Structure formats: structure tokens, C-alpha cells
Amino acid sequence: MNALQKLREKNISGKFICVGLDSDEDKIPPHLKDNDDPIFEFNKAIIKETKEYAAAYKLNFAFYEKNNLKGMESLIKTISIIPRDILLIADAKRGDIGNTSMMYAKAILEDLNFDSITVNPYMGRDSISPFIENPDKLIFILALTSNPGAADFEKLRLEDGTYVFQKVIEQVKRWNISDNCGIVFGATKSLELSENIDLFGSLPVLLPGIGAQGGSLEDVVFTFKQKKRKDFLINVSRGIIYKSSNKDFAKAAGEEIIRLNNEIKYLFND
């Protein structure tokens, strides 16, 4: 089963939540900190309680790289316990000149065997070619991100009246020869989502920004429902993994993802 098939299988079964494992030792429950690898113990507990309900897991590399070798060991142990039928996304936002991107692609998609990765397209096609050459992977390319700074470049209006992020989406569709490209589109940009969803074509969409960043789950689901399409993931990080800071943190995470899935099901069927 390739990456896109994993995504579609989960969507068909009514699962749309991507659990963001942005695990920060300063924020995990205090009782875990005496472990040799507190981040892994935290992730292991979260995965145990959420894996039945998750459409994907997304590991933000910054939270692991900051702890150097120990952090990467935590990451490697974490990915080893995620069931292989669940899409595994490296939130690494890579993108560089060809040979450098080739090494990034090999390290993350081959050596670590992630199903998917986020990449930055702003250096052009040669900077992402090594990622999209593998038809079994799913490459999420930044289009319109959830942060306020997206307005600095992504929402610049061009002479023809279109925006930079729209040009990116159009280009990604041209690059999508192997049906293995998707886009990252911020859930905080609900107006832009509703105005541009027809532009996406068949591209799968990763939507960060629900919860702590202020994005509306209802707005996102309504927009996709109106167009009778799926192939999307709503990423939730802090809203799930830090639902509780007590010893019941994993149970609380499991209850929250069940609640979110039920809300999405209700919104689709309403």
C-alpha cells in the first residue's frame, strides 16, 4: 500500500485527524521526566491510545533535532512503533538545491522510511524533484501556511491579479505526474480555503492550524463537504497530545481524537 492509498483508506473509514507529535520535554507530564527517554515514553503512550482513530501521525523534526542525537533516537524509536497502515509524515519542510535535496530525500524517505514529507517549493522544481521521484511516497508542498507571516510572501498579489500561493498550487498540479503530490493549506485561512478549493484539483490537502492556532474544524469540514471531496488531513498537535498534563494524559488524548472524529462524522452527515 503506497502513501496515497493509506490516506484514502483512512478517509474512507471516517478518519481525518493527523496527530502532530510535536513533543516538548518542557510540556510533557512531570512524572515522565525520570525516564531515560521521556519523549519516547510520552509518544508511546499517546500512540497506544490514538492509533485506532488516527488517519496519520506527523513528527515535527524541530522538536527532535533540538535534542541532537538523543532527540533523533527518540524519533527513530517513535516511528518504529507506529502501525504501518497509518500514514507517517515528516514535518521537515525541506527544499534546497538538487544534490542537497537528494540527500534529504534519501535520509527521510528511504533511510527513515517515512511515507510522506513536507517540502518548501520556493527554490523551484529542481529543489523538490528528488522527493517527488518516488511514486510510493506523498509529498506535501507548502502552498498557504497557517501562520500570520504567510501574508509576507504567499499572499503577495501578482500583476495578473493572482496570488503567489495560487501559482504554487497550479505548479504543483503540473508536477503531480505520479499522483504523489499534495499541498499544505492552513486551516486558519478558511476564507481562502473556500475560495480556492476548486483550484486544488485532486491534490490531497494537509491542513494545520486547528485548535491552538485558531483554525475552525467546522469551517474546514463544511468546505470539503460542499465539494463532496475527501483526501484531506486535519492536523491537531497541542489540542490532542497536551489535552491533559496529568497521569491521564494519554487517555485524554484518545478521548479527544474520538471526539474530533465524531464531530467530523456529524458535520459530514448533517
User: Cβ distance 57 to 47 under 8 Å?
Assistant: yes
Q: 44, 48, 93, 173: which one is catalytic?
A: 93
Closest to 205 in 3D by CA, of 2, 1, 11 = 11
Residue 44 known to be catalytic: no
Other Cβ atoms closer than 10 A to 24 = 15
| Distance between CA atoms of residues 207 and 185, nearest Å | 5
| Distance between CA atoms of residues 234 and 42, nearest Å | 22
User: Cβ distance 194 to 165 under 8 Å?
Assistant: no
Placement of cell 463537504 in the chain: 225
H-only helix segments in the chain: 3-12, 38-50, 62-65, 68-80, 98-105, 125-132, 150-153, 164-175, 190-196, 217-226, 238-241, 249-269
Closest to 190 in 3D by CA, of 207, 205, 204 = 207
Active site (catalytic) residues: 93
